[in-house]
Amino acid sequence: MTKTFKPAPTFASETEERMFWESNDSTDHIDWSKAEAVRLPNLKPSSTSISLRLPNALLERIKIAANKRDVPYQSLIKTWLAEKIEMGPK
């Protein structure tokens, strides 16, 4: 017996679409057995630029640590923040 799929609705906005898929099962609308793998080699994670005021002495220590690791200091800050978040609360 072949499953009949419901047509996916048309959405007025991405927010509306997100809300729909958060509360509906995609297997009711999409035949995943016909899905094909794709590669998106140029897809980059989105990021947001922020301003962060640091004491000069702290920033210099971060730059020294980054230089020892041969990485840009902003990348080191991002790595440290991500590691700290992964550790979770104490």
* Model confidence pLDDT, tens digit, residues 7-30: 989 999 999 999 999 999 999 999
* Model confidence pLDDT, tens digit, residues 41-61: 888 888 889 999 999 999 999
Is 78 part of a structural domain of the chain? yes
Domain count, the chain: 1
Is 10 part of a structural domain of the chain? no
Verdict on whether the full-model pTM lies above 0.85: no
Predicted confidence (pLDDT) at residue 78 exceeds the cutoff of 90? yes
Is 38 part of a structural domain of the chain? no
Over residues 68-78, mean pLDDT: 96
Q: Render the burial of 45-54: b for 16+ CB within 10 Å, e for the rest.
A: eeeeeeeeee
Return the pLDDT at 82. 94
Is 17 part of a structural domain of the chain? no
Is 62 part of a structural domain of the chain? yes
Is 83 part of a structural domain of the chain? yes
Is 9 part of a structural domain of the chain? no
Q: Give the relative orientation of helices 56-69 and 73-87 as an angle to the nearest 10 degrees.
A: 90
Q: Which domain holds residue 71?
A: 52-90
| Nearest CA among 20, 74, 28 for reference residue 50 | 74
Q: Chain-wide mean pLDDT for the chain?
A: 92
Is 82 part of a structural domain of the chain? yes
